Every structure is written in structure tokens, then in C-alpha cells.
Amino acid sequence: MKTNCPSCGAEVRFKSSVSVFSVCDHCRAMIVRRDMDLESLGQMAQLPDDISPLKLGSTGKYRDTRFEVIGRLKVAWSEGFWNEWYLLFENGKNGWLAEAMGFFMMSSEAKVTDRVPGREAVRVGNSYELAPPMKFYVDDIKEAICVGSEGELPFKGMQGRKTVSVDMSSYSGEFVNIEYCVDEIRLYTGRYVEFEELAMSNLRDLSADIKKIRAAELFKCPSCGGPFSMLTPGLTASVACRYCGSTIDATHKTLAVLSKAEKKMKIKPLIPIGSKGRLLGTDWEVTGFMRRSDKTGLYMWDEYLLFNPFKGFRWLTTYNGHWNYVEMLRNSPVRAAAGLSALKFRDRIFKRFLVGQGKVFYVLGEFYWRVRLGETVDVTDYICPPEILSCESDSSEANWSVGRYIGPEEVAGAFGITEGMPPKEGVAPNQPSPYASILRPVMWSFVAFAICLTVLQLYFILALPDRQVYRGDFKINDRKIAKPFITPSFDIPGSTGNISVAVFSPVQNDWLEADIDLVNEETNKNVGFEQGVEYYFGVEDGEGWSEGSQGSTHLLSSVAGGRYHFVIQAGGSGAVAEKSLSIFVRRGVVVWSNIFVALLLLGVYPLYVIWKNNRFELNRWSESDLSPDNTADEVEADEA
């Protein structure tokens, strides 16, 4: 529908058949359409500029359907701003693309049913079956006010329009927004999307616009008068003055002071505000720096706020020389079957590591919420290295984020840090164990070698069956000078292998010792060895005892096949005049000691890796409030 502005006469076009409100591009008159009649409701104030990549006329594609941006609502709440872009699809349907803190949410209006709870019944964390059997959990509740609008809208987008906005999400990625207005309730359903998947075109030229917007206005700190400009105008909710340390409310032109520093501090961030770098494939600019502490003030860590107009905000956090790249989550993780101490996220189980509080100690730069010095939130961390899940909550909202451990050299390379990076101390909660990555292949290698050794042993058992090749029984006169004697000849079959020589003598509280030479009759070479038996028994204090044995075995390896005989010289204590001596020779004896020794040697390195990994994990969990003894001395962290 084309018509003329009732205020200035310029052409006004309603592209969507359901649009009832428009802002004139020429005079900024607020126009309401009633059938074919237009009415001017006054003039819309100029929208404060921001650095969104979108604009009226931008086009994109969602689920194979093209759309065009035809309107916008700019909405403010107590902690910042967000944009609601009104879309017209090529099939005539309408939708919304919400843009907040770098998140993009595609949605469409749905019919309000009796399943939608009343405003007073909604609480953060509660769940509602708005689309059975799917449950949606309340993420936040905020009072919102329309700062201004442009283009066309399906309702009156008047400046000052107040609503209560309730955001909900499901574990599977869908989200719901309930908008409570004065006289109606609106329900929107959809899902979070990545900017890249929308295939947007006809976007703003941010490379030129950002410089103009930042240079357009210079502000003064209401506390000390120090000048400053904003790096992310339209998104910044608070600014920390670099001169006096005060935090300033940037959501209003009055620039009220949110909090003043108790004493002037000058903390120099390792990565200066305004630094630009390419990290993990994306160009980032550092817009804020925060130092936080636990409730005791003993443990402090630094957080750097990163910004990219197409990706939104991310965080770089560092503690004791360890770094994490942190991204806010769109959906809450799922409680694992293990209960409150574990969560399931991206098909991985995260164990609870720490429950505590985080307190703002020092700030510098800009932030997308109204940060205050001393601001405190409850913090719960869950870990599954190299990732960490964190929940920061207060009475009005619960924010989830996921961090990934990155090396300090990666941060230094991204932002061109030439000075030395702080050295690592101890083990970070989600630091990957250098031993865990090799433990699995080491164990698989051990298992593979063990199987090979076992197969080889079975081969020897089957290929070289154990059999007796000689037995000789002799009488020894133990009271005469022992003289050597020669056994009858016997054959040892096969090429080369082991033989066992077993000696048996029924001695009673006595012993027998024999010097034995095995002689090859073809080569006349001999192998000599000593072998003996001893056996004692008796009764002491009414209990019988015994020690020793009447038999013993000696193993000879690498014995060639051929014809052999023994030369034996035997003797004993002389207590008994005559003793009997039996000799047994077996070929192809199964020897298990070799495989056991080999497995033991092979297991040395896997056991070493397991031990080092356990020490690493012990050091990690010594920092946790779930540690078996979190007051124990920390394990030396030489592994880190």
C-alpha cells in the first residue's frame, strides 16, 4: 500500500498487509493506518545510533525463504538495550529478528493459549509446558520500554511503550518470549540463530559507520569531568571512567554515576582497552576490563570483554596465568542423571567444581549491562576439560556461559602482546591434562602388545608340545667319596628350543646336591649347572612344620636337537648311606615367566602416565569445594 504522510506529504509505503504503524522517513511523523485512512500521532524522536550490522532494507534467508527488514523497535531495560527487527517474508508471512548482546533470535507471533501463565505467576527458573510435552524454563524477566522505532510495525511502536518481557528457553534450543502489555499479552516462539546462517545482504558499511558514530559525540564523566567516547554506542549500558574509576550509567543522557571507587586505583590491563586482534578465526576488539574476586577477596581474576558487530560479545578470562575464551549460552544445560552435581551439555557430562560468589573489584571501559563496583552474584562452575560451564545468578536472572581453555601464547599472538605473559601457577579447573590425551593411545598400545604376546605364547604352546624325552633313576652312596657317573644316551628332538631338567630325591631332613653336565655327543660341547634338593620337617610346640622340597627344576634355553648324555657328580650330608636320585628331561616346556616379565616391562610407561595423570587431577580438584579435603596442602604442580 502506497500513500502520503499526513504531516509532510512524502510517500509512505506499507509493505506488509498487517502493518498498522509506520514512521515517516522524511519528517519522522508517527503514522497509524486505519483501513485507508492515516493519522499522525506526533513526531518520533531520532533513534540513538548504534553499531548493529542491520538496517531497514537488509535482506536474508531463513529456512529457504527470503525476507526483508521493514521495521525496527529499539527497546531499553534497566541494564541495557536490544533491537527488534520486523521482517516480511517473500511468502507474505511476518516475523521478528531480535538482536541482543550479539545473540540473534528468529521468531514469529503465536496464538496465546490458557497455558501462558499470568504475569504474577512467572518466576526465574520455573518451567512451563507452553507446547506440550516440551518444557520452557524462564531465563529472565525484565521491564522494558520502547526508546523509539522506525519503518513499519504490526502495532503502535510508540516511544515510551512499556512492557514486561519474559524470555524462556528449552533444552533443545527453542525459545519463547512472552510480552505482557497493559491491555494484552503477546506470545512469540522461535529459536536462536547464528548470523552467518541468515545469509544477510544489503547491510550497513560498519567499517565506515563505526568511526563516524564513535567520533560523533564526546561525553564527560559526571564525577570528575574526564572526557570519554563510546566504543559500542547503542549497546553500552555502563562506562567505567579511566580517570576516577566511577561507573557511569550510559542508558540515559543524564549519565548518572552508578558507583564511585572507594579509592583511586590504577590497574593496567595486560590487553589495553581498544586493542584489536584475531582470535579463533574472528576479529575482536577489547571494549572492557574487569577485575573480580571471591567473597573473601583472597582470589582475584581478570576478565576482558571482546566485541565483534557480527558475533556480539565474548569474554577472555585469566587466573594464575591460565586463560579461557568464554561465550554466553542461549540455553541452560540439562541436569544429568547424577543429580545436582552434574550437568549434560553437548552430549558431555560436566561435574560441579565450585560454588561461590563473584564480586566486582575494578572496572575499566564499557559493558553491556549496568555494572557497579561491589556488585556480587552467585557463581557455580561445572567442568569437563577443556570446557567449563558457569552460572551467574541473582534474584532476577540466571546467565550461563561456556569457557574453553586456551594457551597464553594464543592470546599473546592474537593481540600482539610482546611483554612476557604471566606464568602459569597450579592447575586450572578446566585445564586439559597433558597426560589424559596420551593415556588412551598408550593403554590401547599396551593392550595390543599384550594380545600379540599372548598369541605368540599360544603359538609356542601349540607348535612345541611339552613332552618327556628322558628319565633316569640312580642310587647314590652318600658315605663314600662321590664319583661322577655317566647316564645312558638320549635324543633331544627338534632344532633348537628349551629343555627342563627336573631332579627328585626322597630326602627326609636331609639334602642332596648334584653337579650336572649336559654333553652333546656330536659336538662334545657341554653345559654345566648345579642342582639340588633339601627337605626338612618336624614338630614344634605341638604344630608340624616343613621347609624345602624333594624336587627341583632347572631350565636350559636354546638347546639344539641331537644326542646327549649327562655327567653327574652327586653328594649329600652322609646321614643316610644310600640315596636315590631321579632325573627327568622334557622338551618344549611352556614358560610363562617370560610373558609376565614382558608385560611388566610394557606396563611401566602406562603406569607412569596413569600416575602422572592422577597427580594432575588431584592438583586440579584440590581447588574445588568438592575436594575430599580442600584444606589439604596442594600437590606440587610441576606437571602443569
C-alpha dist (Å) from residue 11 to 6, 38, 44, 258, 565: 10, 12, 17, 45, 122
C-alpha dist (Å) from residue 78 to 137, 142, 371: 22, 8, 11
Q: What is the distance between the alpha carbons of residues 24 and 39, in angstroms, rounded to a whole number?
A: 12
pLDDT of residue 360: 93
pLDDT of residue 481: 65
Strands (E) in 90-133, as ranges, are 94-100, 103-110, 127-131
pLDDT of residue 479: 67
pLDDT of residue 637: 39
The 8-class DSSP code of residue 294 comes to: -
Q: Count of CB atoms within 10 A of residue 340's CB?
A: 9
CB 566 within 8 A of CB 486: yes
Convert 1-36 into a string of H (helix), E (strand) and C (coil).
CEEECCCCCCEEECCCCCCCEEECCCCCEEEEEECC
* CA torsion, ordered 350, 355, 360, 366, to nearest 10 deg: 20
In DSSP notation, 277-292 reads EEETTEEEEEEEEEEE
Q: 208: exposed, middle or buried (C-beta count within 10 Å: 0-12, 13-18, 19+)?
A: exposed
Q: 283: exposed, middle or buried (C-beta count within 10 Å: 0-12, 13-18, 19+)?
A: middle
CATH 2.60.120.380 given to domain 467-589: yes
CB 173 within 8 A of CB 197: no
Q: What is the distance between the alpha carbons of residues 204 and 210, in angstroms, rounded to a whole number?
A: 10
Q: Which residue positions in the chain have pLDDT lower than 50?
A: 338, 628-640
pLDDT of residue 636: 41
Strands (E) in 432-542, as ranges, are 467-477, 485-486, 490-504, 510-520, 526-540
Instruction: Tell me the three state secondary structure of residue 414.
Output: helix
CB 63 within 8 A of CB 191: no
Q: Quick one: which of 457, 446, 456 has its CA closest to 603? A: 446
- How many percent of the chain have pLDDT more than 70? 95
pLDDT of residue 621: 93
C-alpha dist (Å) from residue 460 to 309, 500, 555, 590: 70, 16, 16, 8
Domain boundaries, the chain: 2-198, 206-415, 467-589
Which residues share a beta bridge with 392? 379, 399
* Tens of pLDDT, residues 503-512: 999 999 999 9
* Tens of pLDDT, residues 115-131: 899 988 898 888 898 87
> Residue 508, by phi and psi: left (phi above 0), alpha (psi -120 to 50) or beta?
beta
pLDDT of residue 632: 37
Instruction: Collect all residues with Cβ–Cβ distance below 8 Å to 314 and sequence separation of at least 6.
Output: 102, 284, 305, 306, 308, 325, 326, 327
Q: Model's pTM, two decimal places?
A: 0.75
Q: 392: exposed, middle or buried (C-beta count within 10 Å: 0-12, 13-18, 19+)?
A: middle
